[in-house]
Amino acid sequence: MRLSAWRAPFAALLSVFLLAGCTATWTAPTPTAAHENGTTVSRPSSAEGPFRVTSVTDGDTIRVTINGKSTPVRLIGIDSPEVTDPRKPVRCFGQEASRRAHELLDGSQVWLE
């Protein structure tokens, strides 16, 4: 079989793959919440909530109310210096990280994923 005999089937198959990737899909907009500082955040589609933040423990740990129970939540991707562990000294920038977490999260609502 000659090489040119493969061109037509290959071109047809390539067209199918390219057109399959171009199909239009519609997704419903995700609900948003406004933060007290005026910013708006979108809820991830796989998240549950919103849950009220009842307290900020430090820069990487909060407590939220889930089904009437206060539950600790560690924030993924954030590792701030400890400020509340009595066995460890307060490390550099621990107070600043905790203060910023309070500014961002006190009294807000979060979605958990």
pLDDT digits (tens, 9 = 90+) for 51-76: 999 999 888 999 999 999 999 999 99
Strand partners, 58: 61
How far is it, in rounded angstroms, from Cα 20 to Cα 86?
59
| Close Cβ partners of 54 (under 8 Å, ≥ 6 residues apart) | 63, 64, 65, 70
Determine if the peptide bond prior to 50 is cis (ω within 30°). yes
The proportion of the chain whose per-residue pLDDT surpasses 70, expressed as a percent, equals 61
Q: Looking at residue 28, what is its pLDDT?
A: 44
DSSP, res 88: S
Three-state DSSP state, 94: helix
CATH class, range 31-112: mainly beta
Which one is predicted more confidently, 7 or 57?
57
Instruction: Pinpoint the alpha helices (H) of the chain.
Output: 7-20, 94-105
Task: State the pLDDT at residue 26.
Answer: 44
Report the amino acid identity of residue 61.
Answer: T
pLDDT above 90 (res 105): yes
Percent of the residues in the chain that have a pLDDT greater than 90, as a whole number: 30
DSSP class of residue 84 equals S
**Total-model pTM:** 0.57
